[in-house]
Amino acid sequence: MSYAERAFDDVLSTVEFHVGERAHITVDNSVCASCTSQVCVSACPADLFVPMADGGILFNYEHCFECGTCYLLCDKPGAITWTYPDGGHGVVFTKG
Ligand code: SF4
Ligand code: SF4
């Protein structure tokens, strides 16, 4: 089986985010400050982890794909609290 090539922006234009009021992922900067890998920064496909000058991480949950990559890769206990968004919220992958 093969798939037609598509530009990433074209694919992204088919994605909707029904943003909930509750942050379904939170990041504890007091833990991140001692992290040397900051693997979340390059691993998140939505570029939601932004390194700060003080060693912490700026994180926004609004455009999260809910892929779980950050939670799987981060090896610092307590750094990431990960849940799914509340019902009716979160990412919606439309057919495009
Ligand atoms: S979330 Fe995890 S991988 Fe990312 S900076 Fe914090 S401790 Fe490091
Ligand atoms: S679940 Fe995926 S898209 Fe969401 S913050 Fe983690 S790595 Fe990024």
Domain with residue 46: its CATH number is: 3.30.70
Distance of CA 49 to CAs 9, 52, 95, Å? 20, 10, 27
Residue 17 lies in a domain: no
Instruction: Name the closest ligand to CA 31.
Output: 1
Paired tokens of 74: 């981060």
* Better-scored residue on pLDDT, 20 or 11: 20
Q: Which residues line ligand 2 (CB under 6 A)?
A: 25, 44-46, 48, 64-70
Residue 46 lies in a domain: yes
| CB contact at 8 A, 57 and 27 | yes
Q: pLDDT tens-digit profile of 13-28?
A: 899 999 999 999 999 9
Pocket test for ligand 2, best of 12, 27, 66 (most atoms within 8 A of CB): 66
Provide the pLDDT confidence category of residue 67 given band limits of 50, 70 and 90.
very high
Q: pLDDT tens-digit profile of 32-57?
A: 999 999 999 999 999 999 999 988 99
What pLDDT sits at residue 23? 98
Residue 28 structural domain? 22-93
CA distance 85 to 66: 9
CA distance 44 to 66: 10
Computed on alpha carbons and rounded to an integer, the radius of gyration of the chain in Å comes to 15
What pLDDT sits at residue 62? 97
What pLDDT sits at residue 3? 79
